[in-house]
Chain A
Amino acid sequence: MMDTGHHDNEIIQSVLRGNQQAYTVLVNRYKNYAFTIALRYAQNREDAEEIAQDAFIKAYRFLNDFKMDQAKFSTWLYTIVTNTGLSFLRKKKQYNDSLDDENVFASADRIDSGMNANLVESKSKVKMVNEAIKLLSPDDANIITLFYQAEQSIEEISQILGTDTSATKVRLHRARTRLKEKMEKHFAAEVKDLYSL
């Protein structure tokens, strides 16, 4: 179904009246953001798709509980994606892996060496920033994604993460600090080039 530009709430009301196909518009509208958030919790694209799909299905099932006058649909959906991602991690028992895990740094080294080779041909700033985000913990990567890509406000992110705005600001600040450290550690030359521009 084509995205006709209707507001989310209009589409939701249409779905609740029985027009199931209208939900396609919402899925298409938010699937990229939902998938990107899910990728923060999954190790691969297949798992991320599974998380994002589960989230959309849960959102459909509990659409009657969505309070249109209190929040945006995107905020509510990203809350479901985040919680589904966390449940996924708990099931896979990956949540307790610390950042000192050897596998994390091993994969970072592989990314780094791969990046250097690619950057000889073309300086992909986009790839560097996004690869650096992948090196963060799921919680740090998620808050960066919600703030910069999903363009959620601090209040909306607080709702999604279940914290207050002060705690959200602190978490965002720490996530950015860690991201900067990751970039300086694993992509030092590229970061130096960027700072010199």
Chain B
Amino acid sequence: MNNEQHIDEQLWKYIDGFAAAEERTAIEELIRHNLDWKQRYDELLNLQQMLQQYTETEEPSMRFTQNVMDQVAMIKVAKATGAYINKKIIRGLALFFIITIASVMIFNLGHINWSSTGTATGSLDTGLDKVEPGKYLNSTVINIVIMLNVILGLALFDRYLTNKKKKATEL
């Protein structure tokens, strides 16, 4: 940010009343004793006064209100969005998952041999060794997963570029 931009930012803070007490005092001193600050302040104050006095609202056509009310007559006020969400169902689902996770944990903790000395053979018998990953993870499934990841990645990249462009136009 160059010096002029910094001065403008400080002066707008002062004019809008956003400056803290100490900042106000410092800015007032600068306006009193520094010609650049005084000149900038006068210009910005003029602009502020112009915007306060000379901006005007536009009026729509005479039929505007009638047009709105004609359309409003054909619709009903919708229920509040919150009314569509049944909190009992959400609580029920949450309870189901908590009970499931707690049951699995309690079951497994109950089957641990706490008195053993931690040998390699002291593992939980989860039956996972009987699962055959190769049966399910064939080339088709892997390709589908890769495609989904590529699509997701492209969507995220597009979102990133859109946000970047949006920020650039705002500046």
Give chain A's interface residues, CB within 8 Å of chain B: 15-16, 20-21, 23-24, 27-28, 31-33, 35-36, 39, 45, 48-49, 52-53, 56-57, 60-65, 96, 98, 125-126, 128-130, 133, 137, 139, 144-145, 148-149, 154, 169, 171-174, 176-177, 179-180, 183, 194-195
Contact = CB atoms under 8 A, between A and B. Distances in A.
A21 B70 CA distance: 11
Given A20-B72, A27-B69, A98-B169, A52 B79 contact: no
A59 to B, nearest CB: 10
B23 interface: no
B50 A53 contact: no
A176 B12 contact: yes
A171 to B, nearest CB: 7
Q: Which 3 A-B pairs have the closest CB atoms?
A: A64-B80, A129-B54, A35-B60
Given A129-B51, A176-B47, A61 B77 contact: yes
19 contacts: A23-B69, A24-B65, A27-B64, A36-B57, A36-B58, A45-B60, A52-B64, A60-B77, A61-B75, A62-B81, A65-B81, A125-B53, A128-B54, A149-B55, A149-B56, A169-B18, A173-B9, A176-B47, A195-B43
Interface of B: 5, 8-9, 12-13, 16, 18, 43-44, 46-47, 50-61, 64-65, 67-69, 71-73, 75-81, 83, 165, 169-171
Contact of A180 (B9, B47, B61, B170): B47
B52 A148 contact: yes
Contact of A53 (B12, B59, B68): B68
A68 to B, nearest CB: 12
A154 B69 CA distance: 32
A142 to B, nearest CB: 12
Contacts of B64: 27, 31, 35, 49, 52-53
A20 B73 contact: yes
A63 B51 CA distance: 33
A53 B67 contact: yes
B80 to A, nearest CB: 4
Nearest to B53: A125
Contacts of B76: 61
Contacts of A36: 57-58
A180 B44 CA distance: 9
A33 B57 contact: yes
Contact of A63 (B43, B65, B77): B77
Given A24-B65, A27-B68, A173 B55 contact: no
B76 to A, nearest CB: 8
